[in-house]
Each structure stands twice: as C-alpha cells, then as structure tokens.
Amino acid sequence: MMHHIRRLARRGIPALLALWPALVRGQAAPAPRSAPVSDLRYEVTFDSVTAQSRTIKVTVDFDVAGPGPVLLSFPAWTPGAYELSFFARWVSNFTALAGNKPLQWDKLDYDTWRIQPAGARSITVHFDYQADTLDNAMAWSKRDFALFNGTNLFPYPEGRGTDFSATVTVKTEPGWVVATGMAAAPGDSYREGNYHDLVDKPFFVGRIDYDSTQVAGIWTRLATYPAGTLTGQARAAFWDQIGRMIPAEAAVFGETPWRNYTVMMIFDSLYGGGSALEHTNSHVGIYNIGFIGNPVLASITAHEIFHAWNVKRLRPADMVPYRYDRSEPTVWLWVSEGITDYYANLALVRSGIITADDFMAMTAGKVATVAGAPSTALEDASLSTWIHPVDGSQYIYYAKGSLAGFMLDILIRDASNNRRSLDTVMRGLYQTAYKQGRGFTAADWWGVVSRAAGGKSFTDFAAKYVDGREAYPWSRILPLAGMRVATDTIREPRLGISTGQDSSGAIVIRAIEPGSAAAEAGVRAGDILLDLGDLAVTDPSFAAAYRARFGKNEGDSLPIKVQRNGQTLTLQSTVRLVSHVEGRLAADSAANEKAARIREGILKGTTE
C-alpha cells in the first residue's frame, strides 16, 4: 500500500493537470518525461551459450528526436498476474552507446534508467536479463529453452505514452524454434503497432513441440516444452478438446476476434499444480506433468482462452488502459476471473468434453472451496489480491465469483422464462463497452444484468453477495434450475497435517496435529510432501485417488514419502478413517418443467 502511494506521487499526475502543477499541489514537479524516441528495435539473444548462465541478452536500438535525457523504464507487473514484481530487478550489465562511444547514465528511480545522449541521434542499449523464475509472468530458461514476456525485456520511454510501434528480432540456435503470438514482419522479425500489444505476446525459444491446425477457420498453434512430453495420442486428444472448447466459447460472444491463437505450455515434474496466464491471442500455462490427460488441464485451458474475450478485451474500466508502472486494483475480478471460470466449465460441458455430472461435481467443489475459506466479500477479495493475503481468502474470487455468475445465470433465466441468460449479459457488455473502446463500470454491468432479467433490480443481490459476506442461498436458487444439494457421508483417511506451497511450487508441510497419524509417523513441519503410498500428491487427481485407495480399511499401511534437508525419506504410517458429510449437486428428478428447461439451457448453452 505504501508502495502504491509513493508510485502515484511519482507518476500519477495526468498529463493535462501536469501543465498546472500549482493547482494540484503546492510544490509538485512535472511528471518525468523522456526525450522523444522513435524506431525502437529490440533484439533478443538466447542460445546454448547464454543458456548456460540462464541469461537472455537484450539490445535496444532507437533514434532520439529531441533534447534532454532518455528515460527507459521497465514494467512493474504483467497484466493478468495481479502482483507487483518490478522486472528491473533481473537486469544487469546495462550499457548505453552512441556508435562505439559509451554514454553516461544513472537511475532516475529503481526501475528507470536515465541516459544522457550528449547530442547523439541514434542510441544502442545493451543489458542482460536473468531468466530463472518459473512463473508465467516472468522469464525462465533451461539449457535448451527460454520463456519470456515483453514486460520483462522491453523497457519503454517514460512519459511518452504507449502509442509507438516497435520491432523484435530473436537470435537463437539454427535448430531451435520461436513460438509467439506476435505478428511476423519482414526480415525474420516481429512487429507491433503499440506497447500494449508488444508486451502482451510472450515467447518460447528452444527445443519445443510445435504444430498448428485450423479451429473454426482460424489458425491455432500448440507449443509445448520439453519436446517429447505432449505427443502422440495425448496431443491428439488435447487438440480435440481445443477444437471443441473454442467454438463453445465463441458462441457466447458471437465472434472469434483474433487472426491466430497460440497455446503455450510448459510441463515440469517438480511443479506443484498448474498455473496459466492469459493474453489477447495466446496463453502460457505451467503444469505438473501429471496434468496431461486430466480434465483440470482442459478446464484451465478453457479458462485462459475465455479470457481472450473476458478481460483482455471486455475489461473493467479500472484497468483501461493498462498501465505498467503501478498496480491497477479493481473490485471486478469476480467477473474477470470468477465468471471466466464459470464459463470454462460451461464450455467443457457444452462441447461434450465433460458430462453434466462432472460439471455439477466441479461446481460443488467450488461451493466446498468457499465454505472452507474465511467469509470474504467478492469485492474485497478482488481488491486484496495485490497484497496476497495469507488468511486463505487470496484467490476466493475465482470459486466464489464463478458461483455468483452461476446464481446470476439462474436468476436471469428464471426471470425471463429462459429467454435470456448470463450469455446475454456477456455478449451485451462486449458490444456496448469493449466494442465502443471503453471499459465497463458498475452501472454498465448491473444495467445489462437487470435488463436481461426483464428489469428486475439486483441492488439487494450486489449488497449481500458481491459487496457483502452473506452465505449464498443455494436452497432457494438451485430449485429454480432443477438442481438440489445431495449429501453423502463418506469415510476418508486423515493424516492430521496442513500444507502450503513453497516458491518452487512444491508442497510443504506447515503444521502437524499432536497425536495424529502423521505425528506418530515422525512427519515434521518443513518436510516436502512427495507421495502417500504410491500416489504423487502433485497429481491433479490425487484427492480422489487417495480416497479410493486408502478410504476403506482402518489400520492399513500408509507410507509417507517426504523430502527433508535434501534427502528422501519414507515414513511408516497407518490409515485412520474419519467420517464426514459432503455435499454434491444433483439434477432434481422432481423439478418442474420450467426449472428442467433452465437446467438444460445452462448445460447446453441455449435459450428459448
């Protein structure tokens, strides 16, 4: 928060007001502004030599067209990854030259370099970038591969806006492949017309599997690392899912607004879980290798592709335009992330990738996630994500926002006798906000929702379930869509540990209940949990497989494999079963005719 305020003081004065600083505050200096520069050319070098030091070498050439110092600034964040990272951290060996003559430079602030041109009209900047962070918003490398984002490597002229074109050239080994959503330009380069597009097209460089096909008439590419990981039948099955989910999502908005789309995936056997980041015509996902063939991989992929409409194009006004020098908090991530997650699973069920039962089980999982987290308002969770709260509410706007979308869908269909739906809302806002070149506001959102529901007011809904912390009224809402909550009493093995993820994504044991099975086996806080029995805990199907394998016989042997101080240990434990009641969603066979129609409409993507 302090950080945010200080950055506002440095750069937050709009250009118009800066002309009259005395009107704004007594002693305000004008916002820093670079000398005008043009014809920016970024050259990126990553090959088997630079890979050894996990370094990407960058050269920036540009022309100077006016007096004063050149100010080159690095972004603080990558849009979509709602956290401040300050990419200047990973820069080293910065030099500025006019021809062969070194130019003087110093720093204006922690992420802005100030270069004195000394009359030079043409300047070359060199720096190295450390590519060692496995994070889809950042840069990472191996001996034969690099991922990087434009936000990491492409500094911009401070105070000169985003409306400048630039080219990118990648130098690499002859046999290595370059994959990016960036537009190809003559001379083996890429070119974009403005800075937003320049930094929204991440790159893969190296030994990858790379192929393409047409989905609904549009070229779609699949780039995966390491080479040889997603191949054969598994790749064909994943391609089949992409071919189904994109048309199901496009049907919501009535268009597919890109010339090509690139799905970029990294598989890593140590990465705990999966994480992906959206862009206008691509996304980058990082997954544990166990995700291959799992419906969770299809769901994350559908989520990221839906973002190409919802957040990259249709976006809250708080984030229009993106700015790169500070955070852009908004209360609307429950729409941008949560409703995207609702549509990810809708796209899977509507295109036949999962069954209706699967969809209801995934939705019940979101209900359980919300029930297990502290009671948190959607708007508060959305604002707070920038500081990564540790109380368990950090990402609750995904599951809870998805459920808010589910409720709105049901209420709109109920109020309109299934003639309109949440699809009507998304398509309507896409037309009236994004297509008109602006972000959406609260008045836009609730106006479209209310009109879709025939004029019904959602003021009370917003106060209770979006701004407020009231529990969602499933017993009243679900029957409107021919669904009900069924409960099962299940027996499952209980170890008595709580876990979290460390910075490399591994699953770490944080605490152990005294007297529990884990305590008696000798498990310690700080151990990295690897396997229970022969089941890897990083496998996306772990929970169900664990319950199926060990949920039967009290006292069965249950080996716990952990890593402690770099050594792998297997601790001997035994199964202790506990009972608990679990809710699931089910179709209600006694639903009335209207409710049954609404249920079918949601699952099939239809209205009447």
Q: Which residue has the tokens 């083996």?
A: 188
Bond preceding residue 321 cis, omega within 30 of 0: yes
- Pick between residue 165 and residue 394 the one whose CB is nearest to Zn ion: 394
Which residues contact residue 336 at a Cβ distance below 8 angstroms, ignoring those fewer than 6 apart? 307, 310, 311, 315, 316, 330
Question: In Å, what is the CA distance from 173 to each residue of 53, 144, 150, 410?
Answer: 16, 9, 21, 54
From the CB of 452, what's the least distance to Zn ion, in Å? 24
Which residues contact residue 415 at a Cβ distance below 8 angstroms, ignoring those fewer than 6 apart? 453, 454, 456
In sequence order, the β-bridge partners of residue 222 are 211, 263
From the CB of 80, what's the least distance to Zn ion, in Å? 7
- Pick between residue 209 and residue 337 the one whose CB is nearest to Zn ion: 337
- Pick between residue 72 and residue 311 the one whose CB is nearest to Zn ion: 311
Given candidates 337, 409, 423, 588, which one binds Zn ion under the rule CB under 5 A?
337
Encoding tokens for residue 397?
């706007």
What single DSSP character describes residue 440?
Answer: B
Stretch that binds Zn ion, among 8-16, 27-35, 334-342, 444-452 (CB under 5 A): 334-342
- Pick between residue 343 and residue 550 the one whose CB is nearest to Zn ion: 343
- Pick between residue 426 and residue 481 the one whose CB is nearest to Zn ion: 426
Length of the chain as a residue count: 608
Q: What is the 3-state secondary structure (H, E, C) of 451-488?
A: HHCCCCCCHHHHHHHHCCCCCCCHHHHHHHHCEEEEEE
From the CB of 333, what's the least distance to Zn ion, in Å? 9
Task: Report how far residue 242's alpha carbon sits from residue 222's, in angstroms, rounded to the nearest whole number.
Answer: 10
From the CB of 195, what's the least distance to Zn ion, in Å? 22
From the CB of 315, what's the least distance to Zn ion, in Å? 13
- Pick between residue 34 and residue 385 the one whose CB is nearest to Zn ion: 385
- Pick between residue 197 and residue 337 the one whose CB is nearest to Zn ion: 337
Question: Do residues 418 and 488 make contact, with C-beta atoms less than 8 angstroms apart?
Answer: no
Residue 172 DSSP SS3? coil
- Pick between residue 135 and residue 337 the one whose CB is nearest to Zn ion: 337
Look at residues 536, 493, 498 and name the one whose alpha carbon lies nearest to residue 517: 493
- Pick between residue 46 and residue 306 the one whose CB is nearest to Zn ion: 306
Task: Report how far residue 39's alpha carbon sits from residue 197's, in angstroms, rounded to the nearest whole number.
Answer: 16
- Tell me the backbone φ, ψ of residue 356, rounded to 5 degrees: -60, -40
Number of shown-chain residues binding Zn ion (CB under 5 A): 1
From the CB of 278, what's the least distance to Zn ion, in Å? 6
- Pick between residue 46 and residue 291 the one whose CB is nearest to Zn ion: 291
- Pick between residue 113 and residue 430 the one whose CB is nearest to Zn ion: 430
Half-sphere exposure for 320 (CA within 13 Å, toward CB): 16
Do strands 203-206 and 145-148 pair parallel, antiparallel, or not at all (unpaired)? antiparallel
From the CB of 348, what's the least distance to Zn ion, in Å? 15
Stretch that binds Zn ion, among 171-179, 335-343, 502-510, 542-550 (CB under 5 A): 335-343
Stretch that binds Zn ion, among 110-118, 216-224, 336-344, 592-600 (CB under 5 A): 336-344
- Pick between residue 131 and residue 199 the one whose CB is nearest to Zn ion: 199
Cα 62 to chain centroid, rounded:
33
Task: Report how far residue 269's alpha carbon sits from residue 257's, in angstroms, rounded to the nearest whole number.
Answer: 35
Cβ-closest position to Zn ion? 337
- Pick between residue 378 and residue 480 the one whose CB is nearest to Zn ion: 378
Buried b (16+ CB within 10 A) or exposed e, 24-54: eeeeeeebbebbebeebbbbbbbbeebbeeb
Q: Which helix (H) or strand (E) holds 351?
A: none
From the CB of 82, what's the least distance to Zn ion, in Å? 10
Encoding tokens for residue 555?
């006292």
Which residues, 484 to 523, sit near Zn ion by CB under 5 A?
Answer: none
From the CB of 310, what's the least distance to Zn ion, in Å? 9
- Pick between residue 158 and residue 379 the one whose CB is nearest to Zn ion: 379
Which residues contact residue 186 at a Cβ distance below 8 angstroms, ignoring those fewer than 6 apart? none
Stretch that binds Zn ion, among 122-130, 337-345, 381-389, 547-555 (CB under 5 A): 337-345
Do strands 260-268 and 218-225 pair parallel, antiparallel, or not at all (unpaired)? parallel
* 217 C-beta neighbours (distance < 10 Å), count: 6
Question: Do residues 505 and 529 make contact, with C-beta atoms less than 8 angstroms apart?
Answer: no
In sequence order, the β-bridge partners of residue 96 are 125
Counting contacts by CB under 5 A, is residue 249 touching Zn ion? no
- Pick between residue 178 and residue 335 the one whose CB is nearest to Zn ion: 335
Q: Which helix (H) or strand (E) holds 68?
A: none
Question: In Å, what is the CA distance from 325 to each residue of 90, 94, 109, 283, 496?
Answer: 16, 20, 12, 23, 44
From the CB of 306, what's the least distance to Zn ion, in Å? 8
Question: Do residues 518 and 495 make contact, with C-beta atoms less than 8 angstroms apart?
Answer: yes
The radius of gyration of the chain from alpha carbons, rounded to an integer in Å, stands at 26
> Can you give the binding site for Zn ion, defined by CB under 5 A?
337
